[in-house]
Amino acid sequence: MDQIIQIDGFIALYIFMLAGFVGHEIIGKVPAILHTPLMSGSNFIHGIVLVGAMVALGRAVTPLEQTIGFIGVFLGAGNAVGGYVVTERMLEMFKRSKDKKS
């Protein structure tokens, strides 16, 4: 596909660098109690690979490409959906003690 902007060279490096710092900053201050859900949450976010796999399958021509593309979409969907479900289940349970008993 003809892109409006080509992401390569230094533009690619800049994006890579900035996104890297964002990831580092976001996790840096998180309390240990959330490490498991957070790992699960970041696991969900790289489920965006589904989108790439869809494009790969969409452009696949030969049976070999189609087969691999199909497997890719299947795995990507598993990553995205599974990651979401388990993260949501874990985070849903975190509650404060609402009514302080005295």
Start-to-end C-alpha separation, the chain: 66
24 contacts other proteins (rule: CB under 8 A): yes
Interface with other proteins in residues 76-95 (CB under 8 A): 76-95
10 contacts other proteins (rule: CB under 8 A): no
64 contacts other proteins (rule: CB under 8 A): yes
Take residue 72 and report the two structure tokens written for it. 């890719």
Give least dist CB 81 to other proteins, A. 4
32 contacts other proteins (rule: CB under 8 A): yes
Distance CA 76, CA 56 (A): 12
Distance CA 85, CA 102 (A): 37
What are the helix (H) ranges across 2-62? 9-28, 35-45, 49-59
Give least dist CB 14 to other proteins, A. 11
Give least dist CB 44 to other proteins, A. 7
* Site size with other proteins, rule: CB under 8 A: 88
Give least dist CB 10 to other proteins, A. 12
- Under 8 Å between Cβ of 43 and 79: yes
